[in-house]
Structure 1
Amino acid sequence: MASTASAEKYPIDEKPQVEASEQRDGTGSIESGDQAEWRHGVDAQHEHRILRKLDVHLLPFVSLLYLLSFLDRSNIGNARVAGMATDLHLVGLQYNIAAAVFFLLYCAAEIPSNILLKLLRPSRWIPSIMVSWGIVMTLMCLVNSFTGLVIARIFLGLTEAGLFPGVTFYLSLWYKRSEQSRRVAIFFSAATVAGSFGGILAYGIEKLDGRAGLHGWQWIFLLEGILTVLVAVVAYWYMHDYPSTATFLTQSERDFVVERLKHDSTDLATHYDKKFVFQALTDWKCWMQVVIYLGVLIPVYAFSLFIPTIINELGYRASDAQLLSTPPYIAGCFFTVLIGIYSDKLKLRGPIVIGCATVAIIGYAILYATPHTRPGQSYAGTVIAACGVFPSIAVVLAWTGGNAGGDIKRGVSLAMTIGIANLGGICSSFIYRSKDAPRFYIGHGTVIGCLLLAIISSSVAMFTYHRLNKQKEEQCLREGIDHSHAPKFRDMGDASPLFRYTI
């Protein structure tokens, strides 16, 4: 009742007027005194209630979509343990090649996909690509050779390409920069749930081996593909496009959300123009975020593709390895959400990434150094590694999206980061070789090197953003620039003197 009364007392278009003085909103943006009072004072409860409403209507469903996406791209690891490699007569690096080709068209299609998402309706584009990859996934149960598997994986990568960068961009159109890390963390935690759920599901589906003339691994592809198609059909009617058209919000609530996003972006451009695409492609800071993401993504993909194999090689039976791949994912899921929340609360990105990468290095160091005769200790290393690699993904993406000014530049920057860094998935597919079992020195060593790359590049980014923020603050003081001048810098993106980078 208090929040409602507050909203009635101060409608959206009649904000309380107080003396204008510049304040920081916690994300680095400059806001005038009346805007700060509007945010932090009388309407704070009203704002919190609307945020909860957004969370309830958006996060569970997009998390489900990504759960299915990650399940479908990584179930090849479960299928391998379930006998796919034997039935398809895969030898040498053929499994690694089949895992790697997924990323060829997956990376190439992500930037065009995010542009199309902005030009078209998200509620049409995202479900459409889901139907496409669900059909491909379902038909993968029919492959009977290495060549067929490779072709299927190529098309799976093409059709899945738009989901992850698309939903990450989609969330940035609903939430302020200081609110995105925990939401991306909740969304990305679906990957860890998919990992844990995938192991249990594969264990159960394997029991269908021989039914309808299909092997257990074929049933994994068939059932998980059909599930994706069914959820995609529901998504056509359930997904909402933008805050300004959300039917679950009242008109005053829609105005409220649109207005707060406008202030958070210092009124930067939201329309499409090819110059905003080039702003992202020619900004070296965007490429620096690609390097950071590459450093944490290679370990994540390597973990997802090979964790059943790694556990199997520790001496556990194949069926037990499917089940034992679940606890590391559960631990990773818990810390992904927890760290995402605290990253927003502390308004920090770089230090969080460095901390997560350090924890992951400890886990992989245990795997690297522990003798094969101590499988329990090695297994503990997989759990520690999961607690470090998975949480870093959401924080890096929130960092990338939050430091790109304007809708189009943000969408292209996120697609660049996710798309180009996903080429690292090719590397992930080859670093764990069968002949290196059970210690996998090359695989563990490569992952540790990638995590060190993430630490070094994050340190460079933090120094750069701090230096640029100081320069902008000095410019604003020197030239008397405040929020009232925002329209003048509308097309400048994060180069606007009013924009502040998150560190």
Structure 2
Amino acid sequence: MATANEKQINAEHRVPDSPIEEKSNAIHDETAHVAAERGHAATDEYGNALVHFDQDAERRLRLKIDLYIVPTVSLLYLFCFIDRANIGNAKLAGFEKDLHLAGYDYNRVLSVFYISYIIFEIPSNMACKWIGPGWFIPTISLGFGICSICTAFVHNIHSASGVRFLLGMFEAGMMPGIAYYLSRWYRRSELAFRLSLYIVMAPLAGAFGGLLASGILKLHNFGGLHTWRMIFAIEGIITCGLSLISYFTLTDRPATARWLTQAEKDLAIARVKSERVATTEVLDRIDKPKILRGIFSPVTISTAFVFLLNNVTVQGLAFFAPTIVKTIYPKNSVVSQQLHTVPPYIVGAFFTVLLPFLSWRFDKRNIFFIISAPLVMIGYIMFLSSTEPMVRYGATFIIASGAFSFGALCNAQVAANVVSDTARSAAIATNVMFGNVGGLISTWSFLPFDGPNYHIGNGLNLATSSTIFLLSIILLFWMTKDNKRREKKNMETELEGLRGLSQKQIQDLDWRHPAFRWKP
């Protein structure tokens, strides 16, 4: 009788039961190889996949990609968010006092970061596609790590603003760059959950950042640095170390993955290609028509506006959670206040993964916008209606539960509703650019004169979450209605009109192709 280990080995290295099965596998591998080659489409002209893949082979490949790709980008994004949001922890430790910031100076320093972030968003993602994510992502990570270290040595608002501008420039490419990078590896339905596995690092950064900052502040000094300066220096050094390692661990695309067999490379390419109507190459050349299709897709624009509104809340929490907690527990020590910011982020992290996981299983995204928004609304209603510390602290848990999942869901939504690689890169960059306009707004949402109850900031966030709820419902109805309109058209007549077009012209149609359907 075989042991459990022998059964596992036999399952992984199974000999075909018959020559017929062996021939079938060979035909399948050859079909995937042909579909993966440049110049060959993996769909017919109606958008139907020409290749049907073995689910077990896909499952094994997906797990392998998960283990090789996701951990590195997740760690990089964790410290990307920590290096962005640690200024909130530094504020509690004397950042404002030592730099002689008064009035709205702190808000101005926060705003400078978003100005450069917004300016460089789309150019950065185009550069990511052109250079290749395997080199681009580690390089910008090294850049913002160095900027964090430099923040430890600023002495006035001008030097602080200059470093924050550079920090925004380097971090601009991080969120859209990783989202675009993962879209090279995963199917449409799989993408939201994989995005959540790195975007969950945003709430975890809030939790871990608070723990790390409180731990660092217990040190007497770090070199010649004290108090909040140690936070920036130590966290920046960690970021730089991870960036250097990632040069060796990130693989640019399936075709260059040394850890995949040739059959696995073909399968990885062909399965992504099989969801892209009229596509003959997964990684196309950058051209203007596809960029514009990605930016001006109705789903891109509307989803990006949802993400803008959501980011007013998410970035506001990142920058002002320590300040809000201080108003709830004003008599606690600084370290205690830092630690109180941790639990809401842990709860937020759980929902950041749970909702995109359900999105993967149901291959739906828009419905989870509609589910998440009311949680944020309830949280801010609690803030506005009560001054009880425990009620307000409880509200932060509810807000975090609904707010953080939008990062994965919105990026997956825009990626799923364009066809070409270039359009996908542009759509994701547009979504994140809009999101960071929301981040810029968030820097002015909690103003000094509005404390300690912050009626303006809480009211603004209630308004944004309510708008998200209504807009998400409208978007879902529009996508469903437009799909029905497309179904009513005579497909043969529509396709006949494309006969005179070149292959490039057909591909440039992207979501305007008659066989395309919106994926809500």
TM-score in same-fold range (> 0.5): yes
Partner residue in 2 for 1:367 = 383
Match of 2:145 in 1: 134
Pairwise CA distance, 1:96: 0.9
Moved more, 177-186 or 289-298: 289-298
Q: Among 467, 470, 485, which residue is 1:453 paired with? A: 467
Aligned: 1:156 with 2:167: yes
Scaled by the length of structure 2, the TM-score of the pair is 0.88
CA contact (8 A) 1:71 1:195 kept: yes
> Where does residue 122 of structure 1 map in the other structure?
133
* Corresponding position of 1:276: 290
Q: Which residue in the other structure is 2:228 paired with?
A: 217
Aligned to 2:393: 379
User: Which of the residues 82, 98, 101 maps onto 1:87?
Assistant: 98
Q: 1:413-457 CA distances to partner (integer Å, 9 max, x unpaired)? A: 110110133122121011111222221111111011111221222
Of 492, 495, 499, the residue aligned with 2:512 is 495
Q: 1:158-179 CA deviation, whole Å, 9 max, x = no partner?
A: 1111111100111111111111
Aligned partners of 2:314 and 2:296: how far apart in 1?
A: 28
8 A contact 1:180–1:344 mirrored in 2:
yes
| Distance change in 2, residues 1:81/1:46 (3 Å) | same
Structure 1 residues 232-255: Cα deviation after superposition (integer angstroms, max 9, x where no partner): 111111100011111111000000
Gaps of 5+ in 1: 17-28
Contact kept in structure 2, 1:295 and 1:452, CA below 8 Å: no
How far residue 212 of structure 1 moved from its aligned partner, in angstroms, is 3.8
Do residues 419 (structure 1) and 430 (structure 2) align? Answer: no
| CA deviation after TM superposition for structure 1 residue 120, in Å | 1.2
Matches within 5 A, 1:176-255: 176-255=187-266
| Residue 267 of structure 1, CA deviation | 4.0
Does 1:404 pair with 2:415?
A: no
Aligned to 1:350: 366
How far apart in 2 are the matches of 1:300 and 1:46?
A: 38
2:355 corresponding residue in structure 1: 339
Q: Indicate the residue corresponding to 2:343 in structure 1.
A: 327
Confirm or deny that 1:45 pairs with 2:56. Answer: yes
Q: Deviations over 1:34-58 (max 9, x none)?
A: 63xx23xxx1111111001111111
TM-score scaled by structure 1?
Answer: 0.91
Residue in 2 aligned with 1:169? 180
Q: In 2, are the aligned partners of 1:300 and 1:389 still within 8 Å (CA)?
A: yes
| Counterpart-to-counterpart distance in 2, 1:121 and 1:180 | 19
1:293 aligns with 2:304: no
Residue correspondence of structure 1 range 12-91 to structure 2 within 5 A: 12-15=28-31, 30-31=47-48, 35=51, 38-39=52-53, 43-91=54-102
Flag structure 2 segments of 5+ consecutive residues without an equivalent: 1-9, 33-45
Contact 2:299 2:414 in 1 (8 A): no
Q: Flag the 1:211–1:266 CA change in 2: closer, same or farther, 3 A.
A: closer
Assess if the C-alpha contact under 8 Å between 2:289 and 2:508 holds in 1: no
User: Matched residues in 2 for 1:491 and 1:86: separation?
Assistant: 55
Q: Indicate whether 1:394 and 2:411 are aligned.
A: no
Deviations 1:281-302 (A, max 9, x none): 4444422222111111111000
Preserved CA contact (<8 Å) 2:308 2:439: no
1:466 to 454, 466, 480: 480
Question: Out of 25, 37, 49, which is 1:10 matched to?
Answer: 25
Distance in 2 of aligned mates of 1:476 and 1:123: 44
Q: Give the distance between the partners of 1:390 and 1:382, measured in 2 at CA.
A: 12
Alpha-carbon spacing, 1:79–1:209, altered in 2? closer, same or farther (3 Å):
farther
Across the aligned residues of Structure 1 and Structure 2, the Cα RMSD in angstroms comes to: 2.3
Q: Which moved further from structure 2: 154-163 or 457-466?
A: 457-466
Match in the other structure for 2:457: 443
CA positional deviation for 1:393: 2.0
CA drift of 1:362 comes to 0.8
Question: For 1:59, what is the secondary structure of its paired residue?
Answer: helix
One-letter code of the match for 2:252? D
Indicate if the aligned counterparts of 2:118 and 2:433 stay in contact, CA closer than 8 A.
yes
Q: 2:146·2:236 contact (CA, 8 Å) conserved in 1? A: yes
Q: Name the counterpart of 2:154.
A: 143
Tell which deviates more after alignment, 169-178 or 313-322.
313-322
